[in-house]
Structure 1
Amino acid sequence: MIQHQHQQKQRRRIYLLSERELSPEVIAVTFAKTSRSPRSFDEIVSELSEEESSRFHERWVLGFGHGSIAEHAVLHIAIENVSRLAAEVIENNRLCSYTERSSRYQEFTDYYIPAGLDSDLHRLYIETCDRLFATYRHCLAKLSSHDVCRFLLPAAALANLGMTANARSLEWAITKLLSHPLSEVCEIGKEMKEVALKEVPTLIRHAEPNRYLINKEEAIRAWSRSQGYSPGESQSPGPGLHKCKCESVLLVSYDKEAEERFIAASLYRHPNSNLRLTFPQLLEWARHLPSEEKGKLIRTILSPLEPHDRPPRELEQVYYTFDCLVDQGAYRDLARHRMLTLIAQPLTVKYGYAIPRGIVEAGFLEDYREAIDLATSAYRKVAERHPYEAAYLVTNAHNRRFLMTLNLRELYHLVALRSRKEGHFSYRRIALKIFELAREKHPLLLEHLPFREPPESSALLEEEYFAELAHPA
């Protein structure tokens, strides 16, 4: 037998291309060129200039649409003193990373005033925000609990956030900002583009308002008006809605064959020599598997999970959709899970507002309700003439309705993280309710979710922390 004596001549190398020495656009070109060049990265980058990198991006990214190249150019953007309403819009990008000033640990002191309000509404707006912040400060002095007092904060409250994004994602993020109906958001988009152009002068140059995004919203509003539906706030949330705590979370759709799909996906990725089948074949096989064997296999795969383990990717074959009605503060916390598919209704006051039990127990209910009711009334008056700007007056206490679709792997992550006792009681109850509803349908798949401590009851949590979930507004 002839033995080949080949020896590897090229040694492994792992090293950084540092942003301390190279611009983001040069780094992006360096990585892009490796697809057609046999040279090492440090050899490639040694021959690049800013001008050559710009020409490369003009031709390949902008000219031929190779957008993935722009993903290697990463920027870190500091954004200060923007409204929490604008921060929500900025953070509505799945492939960016954010850290925002927390309402759980810091006191908020100022608020945004939108331009263009009529003089009487301008005065009402300031009076309302001043009252909310005065009540908020009084609440903090009385209760020393940011978790409770944050319900009084309006969407106008000013916040800071840090944003990390690659140039491809950033271009689309800026495009969405420039296409938004709020002037504050458009101004942020313009300023963000100006700042980013200093680092990536080519890759985001063509971020402009998008006619489709603008026209789509206008078309939907026109159709709604033609059908007699008004986006105003005169409509009632429906009889009995504020009385039904169970409507905080509704499971509206789920995979009827969740267990079979998980089993089929698990066998698909790890087939043995006698089971090299297509997914439809494996799914059909799983359908006829005895219940006892299904449970045994699922437990074999999932029961070893510890709290710090990543659940298997095969759980992503299973999906759930929930219709949620929760306070705005909890919505903002849950929206940080960007793997979720969230479709949120606009900020409104028509679903009522939450009253934390801590407010009642501290004897602060009258002040609390007067402030929230004032914000509710002011919102409706502003909304008659300035429907978008009225959203700044919606508080964290007001309820927000949104549709949430997620796969079971993300559900594991969300529930395990957001149900922890150190979390805010408002989103904890939502996470636990999601778990309870999913477990009712698929107990075999949910019984192995790796909690740090045994899960509490969402109903008991509501009873402990809320006097009312949806007080009529």
Structure 2
Amino acid sequence: MPDNEFDELSSPENSTDVYAIYGAEPEVLAYAMAKYSRSALTMRESLAEISSQRAEQFLNTFYFQYGHRSIADLAHIPFAIERLSMLAAIALVDESRWDGQERSTRYQDFRRSGWYTPKLQGEERARYTASIEALFKSYDELSLGMFDALAKALPKPEEMREDQYKRTLKARAFDVARYLLPLSTNTSLGQIVNARTLETQVSRLLSSRLAEVRELGQKLRSAASSPAWNVQRDRLEQMAGEGIVPQEATTEILKDLMPEVRVAPTLVKYAEPNQYQMESRSELRQAAKELMGDQPIYGAPLVDLLDDDEDMEVEIATSLLYPYCHYSYRQLRGTVGAIGEKRRNEIIHLAARHRGKHDELLRGFQSGDGFRFDILMDIGGFRDMHRHRRCVQLIQDFTDLHGYEEPVCPGQPTLEEAGLAAAYKQSMDAAHLAYRDALASESPDAQANAAYLLPMGTRCRAMFKMDFAESLYIAELRSGIAGHYSYRRVAWEMYRAVARRHPALGELFRIQDVNVPVDLLQR
């Protein structure tokens, strides 16, 4: 008998094989990876024998019939989404599992971007257009005016190139001007998501109150089911047209080696509006309205770190109602805590009443994190904070009820010093008035469409729930001197709130004091 009874079964040497994979269709690759649990074939062998038809059959059986949704996690798909409004972009990226990049308001001039216009008629359309045009005109004037103020306050150092100097000042000026960009402003973004996230994303978008967002969901589903753009096919056809590659060879290559690919036709074909989300949204909005009645909205700080000894039922009920009102979490929780266990449980059960067989619970049920920050900040800064995925985010509808921020950066000329304060206030007030006029319209989509008129300097409220490690990560990252001063202040207040409550933990933060002026020519 061998010294080791396993010697006859083991390889003569270590032979771990690692290789990257390129060129396989996302659904075929997902099938091949799933086969590891059902077959001894290598990845090369699996991909060699799998066709798109077999992948579709497998996915129809295991994904839809047996509910093995983790298979869709294995299919990652890149998308380009171009010329959508910033309001729609916020809705698009509101996924806990999402990776992507959007056009930067710091490094790009949005004067030529254009904007989204809802389906409005006559006088309503004219008023909408006039309001948006006025904001873009003010955005242009504010960026140019702040650039001039910065140039006067910050002469170019001798060692700095002229083009670098101007780029830096433009970025600083855009940081100020972005407060006047309306949410209707067109933007573009790229995303890489797995097919499971894509399916829930499409379903959620199709359930939106905004027509643009519903159309976006349809376009995403169509893009996943239609032939994808292939840069190599385009190049090969171009080479054939230029005579570099014979046309006959091109035809064969396209047919055999570069067939048209539909990235996820099977995995998104059943993505439909989510009735659970839609019905729960309506009922929770009504419940919040009945619960809070005509209570005034109390003042709240920029960042409020909530108590960590709250009953789970109180937190869940409050979290479920929070996105459907404009009250702070603390004020809403006070009312929820006082209504009694019976009524509180009714709210919780209301939010699960319409849940279907494959529906995940609403985001409000994701409770129990030790660090919960209720944040009231400008929409532009929120968009940057929104990118953090390792936390639970509950977002209230955008409104004018909380007023707007004025851009203030230590060491940088203020709007008053630049002679721009009056013009800024006039532009913001006019935009909020236009928002209220649109909100009062008799149009059935008035409440949803009015938000397009709000500038990014408008304050919004959102709850961020996380563990300690994530709170430290966000505070350290977002307090850095290269960041926008809007979210730098939020990060600083997050740190201060944690340090006051947990001094020993506060000592772990590598934080930068945002009140200390920075070198504005350093990026």
Shorter-chain TM-score above 0.5: yes
Give the distance between the partners of 1:64 and 1:222, measured in 2 at CA. 36
Matched residue, 2:236 = none
Given that residues 353 and 397 in structure 1 are in contact (C-alpha distance below 8 angstroms), is that contact kept between their aligned partners in structure 2?
A: yes
Give 2:477's aligned residue. Answer: 417
SS at match of 1:253: coil
CA distance in 2, matches of 1:134, 1:122: 18
Residues in 1 aligned to 2:121 and 2:306: alpha-carbon distance in whole angstroms: 42
Partner-residue secondary structure (3-state), 1:77: strand
Counterpart selection for 2:392 from 320, 324, 341? 341
Give 2:351's aligned residue: none
1:213-269: CA deviations, max 9, x gaps? 111222233445556848xxxx9644xx3xx7xx1111112369xxxxxxxxxxxxx
Residue identity opposite 1:114 in structure 2: T
Moved over 4 A (4+): 224-230, 235-238
Does the aligned pair in 1 maintain the 2:118–2:449 contact within 8 Å?
no
1:99 to partner: Cα distance: 0.3
Equivalent pairs, count: 387
* Residues in 1 aligned to 2:288 and 2:507: alpha-carbon distance in whole angstroms: 44
The reply to whether residue 380 of structure 1 matches residue 436 of structure 2 is yes
Contact 1:178-1:190 within 8 A present in 2 as well: yes
Distance in 1, matches of 2:202 and 2:293, equals 31
Residue aligning to 1:328: 379
Alignment of 1:313-324 (within 5 A): 319-324=370-375
Contact 1:114 1:184 (8 Å CA) reproduced: no
State the one-letter code of the partner of 1:104: R
2:507 corresponds to 1:447: yes
- Equivalences for residues 37-436 of structure 1 within 5 A: 37-109=39-111, 110-144=113-147, 145-197=173-225, 198-224=262-288, 229=293, 237-238=297-298, 241=299, 247-254=301-308, 319-357=370-408, 358-385=414-441, 386-436=446-496
Is 2:84–2:116's contact at 8 Å kept on the other side of the alignment? Answer: no
User: Quick one: which amino acid aligns to residue 124 of structure 1?
Assistant: R
Letter paired with 1:252:
L
For the Cα contact (< 8 Å) 1:249–1:434, is it kept in 2?
A: yes
| Offset at residue 319 of structure 1 (A) | 1.8
Residue deviations 1:164-183 (CA, integer Å, cap 9, x gap) = 10111100000000000100
RMSD: 2.4
CA distance in 2, matches of 1:136, 1:236: 33
* SS of equivalent residue, structure 1 residue 362: coil
The equivalent of 1:35 in structure 2 is: 37
State the alpha-carbon separation in 1 of the partners of residues 406 and 369 from structure 2.
Answer: 35
Measured at CA, do residues 49 and 2 of structure 1 come closer, stay the same or move farther in structure 2, by a change above 3 Å? closer
Give the match's secondary structure for 2:447. Answer: coil
User: What amino acid is aligned across from residue 79 of structure 1 in structure 2?
Assistant: I
**Which amino acid in the other structure matches residue 456 of structure 1?**
D
> What SS does structure 2 have at the residue aligned with 1:356?
coil
- Post-superposition Cα deviations, 1:357-402, rounded to whole Å, max 9, x if no partner, equal 4322210111111111111001011112301111111111111111
Whether the aligned pair in 2 keeps the contact of 1:17 and 1:27 (CA below 8 Å) is no
Aligned AA for 1:66?
A: H
DSSP 3-state at the match of 2:475: helix
Partner of 1:11: 15
Matched letter for residue 408 of structure 1 = F
The secondary structure found in structure 1 opposite 2:110 is: coil
Which letter does structure 1 place at the counterpart of 2:123?
D
Change in Cα spacing, 1:335 to 1:461, as seen in structure 2 (3 Å) is farther
1:456 aligns with: 513
* Offset of residue 461 of structure 1: 6.5
Say if 1:414 and 1:431, in contact at 8 Å, map to a contact too.
yes
Tell me if structure 2 keeps the 8 A contact 1:253–1:322: no
The alignment partner of 1:34 has SS state of helix
Q: Secondary structure in 1 aligned to 2:285? A: helix
Question: In the alignment, which residue of structure 1 is the partner of 2:159?
Answer: none
Matches of 1:404 and 1:224 in 2, distance apart?
20
TM-score relative to the length of structure 2 = 0.70
Indicate how the Cα distance of structure 1 residues 225 and 402 shifts in structure 2: closer, same or farther if over 3 A, else same: closer
Amino acid at match of 1:149: A
Distance across 2 between alignment mates of 1:318 and 1:115: 39
Q: CA deviation at 1:62?
A: 1.1
User: Aligned equivalents of 1:381 and 1:318: distance in 2?
Assistant: 40
In structure 1, list runs of 5 or more residues that go unmatched.
Answer: 257-316, 466-473
Distance 1:14 1:394 in 2: 51
Instruction: Give the distance between the partners of 1:318 and 1:125, measured in 2 at CA.
Output: 42
The offset of 1:40, in angstroms, is 1.2
Stretches of structure 2 lacking an aligned partner (at least 5 in a row):
148-172, 226-261, 311-367, 409-413
Mapped to 1, the partners of 2:2 and 2:62 lie a distance apart of: 48
Q: Secondary structure of 2:182's match?
A: coil
SS at match of 1:360: coil
Instruction: Quote the Cα distance in structure 2 between the aligned partners of 1:318 and 1:59.
Output: 37
Q: Which residue of 1 aligns with 2:249?
A: none
Q: Do the aligned residues in 1 keep the contact of 2:400 with 2:459 (CA within 8 Å)?
A: yes
Q: C-alpha separation between the residues in 1 aligned to 2:106 and 2:516?
A: 18
TM-score with structure 1 setting the length: 0.77
